[in-house]
Amino acid sequence: MKNYFKNNIGMNILLWFMIVFAVGAVWIWHSSSNSPESKKMESNIAEMNGDYSFYKHAIENNTEEHYIKKIDKDNINLSSKINDIKPVIQRSLEQVYNQTKNTSDHEKLKGKIKDLGSEWSDILSQISEPTVSQSGKEQAVYDSMTDLKIAFGKYDISTKTMSCYVLVNWKSPVIAGTAQGGSQTLKGSDFFTMNYKVTDNSFSNVQYKQAMNGADK
């Protein structure tokens, strides 16, 4: 792959140089004349030389090798970053979906998931707040997390961020149903998308959606 980029860079630059050289030769042939056409040719050559310098720089700085060197220069190991942050996400979400059973648990929640940052923590705190009935009985939103999937998208070298996708499947506590004494357990999925900045392990632009997946009686 690296040789492919190198060969193409050399070929494109050589082709551009040959064009500039050919036009230059034509201009020298006309240089004995002080005609308007000669002056215009001289101007065009100067412009092409400027374009050549820009073109050469652009090619050399938009290759796979350049990106690899840039990541190395920034001292960023993407695999290590992902492997380190995944357990942090999992532990925090286990606190939300498995351990938040009442108001007391909820009040302590933000301190336990602070590694996810304020933006994501705020959303998780809002969606997991227990309800309180008129009789004062508390009801947790989630009973447990039944499945967790974490994925990362393409790395943006300019912002040092990666897209992050988190899907949580969950079930609710048993919820009282009809007057005849029926009850059910709700099932659902919470989907989060966000940007993950690898330099400081922060999350931003967090988006949240929920889908209900039915109920077990």
pLDDT one-digit tens code per residue, 56-108: 444 454 445 555 566 666 778 888 999 999 999 999 999 999 999 999 999 99
Average pLDDT of span 151-165: 91
Give the residue from 128, 149, 147, 148 showing the smallest Cα distance to 138: 128
Q: What is the pLDDT of residue 29?
A: 43
Give the residue from 148, 133, 142 showing the smallest Cα distance to 192: 148
Instruction: Select the more confidently predicted residue: 38 or 99.
Output: 99
User: Counting beta carbons within 10 angstroms of the beta carbon of residue 158, is it exposed (0 to 12), middle (13 to 18) or buried (19 or more)?
Assistant: exposed
H-run or E-run covering 208? strand 202-216
Buried b (16+ CB within 10 A) or exposed e, 38-65: eeebeeebeebeeeeeeeeeebeeebee
Q: What is the pLDDT of residue 2?
A: 40
Give the residue from 140, 130, 147 showing the smallest Cα distance to 191: 147
198/132 Cα distance (integer angstroms): 40
Supply the DSSP string of 124-191, one letter for each residue. Answer: HHHHTPPEE-TT--EE-S-SEEEEEEEEEEEEETTTTEEEEEEEEEEEEEEEE-STTS-EEEEEEEEE
185/214 Cα distance (integer angstroms): 9
pTM beyond 0.85: no
134/125 Cα distance (integer angstroms): 22
Give the residue from 147, 112, 105, 149 showing the smallest Cα distance to 128: 105
Q: What is the pLDDT of residue 100?
A: 97
